[in-house]
Structure 1
Amino acid sequence: MSTHEALRLHCKTLRLPTMLSALADTMSLAEREGWSYDQLLLTLFEQELEGRRQRRIERHLKQSQLPPDKTLAQFDLQRLPHRLQQLLPKLCEGGFVDRAENVLFFGLPGTGKSHAAAAVGYELVQLGYRVLFIPTFRLVGRLLRAKRDYELERELRRLDRFQVVILDDIGYVQQSQEEMEVLFTFLAERYERRSVIITSNLVFSEWDRIFKNPLTTAAAIDRVVHHSTIIEFGKEMTSMRAEVAAQRQRQLQTTAKQRAG
């Protein structure tokens, strides 16, 4: 067995597929340019590491269930106000994920909030974060089935593997009390530990249509608003500060306490 054949065999044994495919060309290049042994080894290992990174991204992108045509490159940033043109790329850097913060996109159907959320998710996957994009009604159904099978805790642990969960169209979830309870459990479980990105066509004052109970509504808003970036997509495409949302949340809490009393 020649030295080259032995190297190829060792690459297969050690499961170094990128190094195996690049071995012949890289060694030829090293010979032509007079590389040192250190430089040759460094190049081969860097190629293998990059190959593994790309395969990991491809695997995570598939697991994310992100829509394939909703990327930042396909989003028309020019139609946004200047502040949002700067904010969306900033969110794509992932700092809010490291801080376990949330992002909320509000707006009427067709204003671009779901595209923006998916685009941020896509860029985060490219950086190595694990992301799940899921319609809220589908997540609720998944959690409810797990609860009925006494597997809710295990399902929450599965979801916890994702550093970011994108809940699309939370406003369309207006079902039973039991379904809303599992949604609240999910949000409470991730509070200050993992990030959520939420899109909604309902403003906070209408979230009692989702969570039914005013106390639950106030508690849910408290968990998603705290440490959050809130963006409103409307006719003027303006952004809304978290302080405004927090003020509305406090009003809901006051109302809930009055009703409870």
Structure 2
Amino acid sequence: MNATDPIDTARLSLALGDLRLPAIKVIWPDFADRADKEGWPAARFLAALTEHEIAERSRRRIERHLDEARLPPGKTLESFEFEAVPMVSKAQVMALVAGDSWLEKGANLILFGPAGGGKSHLAAAIG
């Protein structure tokens, strides 16, 4: 039997579904063709598949977290009008965003101020 045997292909598709490897299930035929053409060793083929699965899981996790956060769309730091809210320091906000030590520590950010001060916009943009 060759690599494109329909029975083997169907079995592999079912097994990848059972193992919850959706990215590999989709991409493996293309990777297999490339591996065959370029003469990849088995370890390289498996490494390429697993790296793809890991990257896709990470992408989906970020997508899911952003969806769950229910951040208002279109709120970016570029679209925030710092001039309209002089009590907000652009330099401080940019320094906060540039550094990630607060993220590594799992620290919270607390934004407070009067209504219309841009708290929700900044929170969404930072998120």
More strand by share: 1
Deviations along 1:124-149, one digit per CA (max 9) or x if unpaired, are xxxxxxxxxxxxxxxxxxxxxxxxxx
Deviations along 1:30-81, one digit per CA (max 9) or x if unpaired, are 1222221111101111111122222222222222121122234544679986
Gaps of 5+ in 1: 122-261
Deviation at 1:105, TM superposition (A): 3.2
The corresponding residue for 1:89 is 97
**Among 24, 29, 45, which residue is 1:40 paired with?**
45
C-alpha separation in 2, matches of 1:9 and 1:108? 56
2:34 is aligned with 1:29: yes
Q: Secondary structure at the match of 1:48?
A: helix
Deviation at 1:85, TM superposition (A): 5.7
Q: Secondary structure at the match of 2:109?
A: strand
2:3 is aligned with 1:3: no
C-alpha separation in 1, matches of 2:26 and 2:42? 19
Deviations along 1:151-187, one digit per CA (max 9) or x if unpaired, are xxxxxxxxxxxxxxxxxxxxxxxxxxxxxxxxxxxxx
C-alpha separation in 1, matches of 2:16 and 2:83? 48
Gaps of 5+ in 2: 1-5
TM-score, L = length of structure 2: 0.72
The corresponding residue for 1:63 is 68
The corresponding residue for 1:17 is 22
Alpha-carbon RMSD across the aligned residues, in angstroms, is 2.9
Structure 1 residues 17, 74: CA separation in 2 closer, same or farther (over 3 Å shift)?
A: farther
C-alpha separation in 1, matches of 2:23 and 2:82? 37
The sequence identity of aligned pairs, in percent, is 36
Deviation at 1:112, TM superposition (A): 2.9
Deviations along 1:73-127, one digit per CA (max 9) or x if unpaired, are 5446799866336314225x3x214334343334444443321111112xxxxxx
C-alpha separation in 2, matches of 1:115 and 1:13? 42
TM-score, L = length of structure 1: 0.39
The corresponding residue for 1:99 is 105
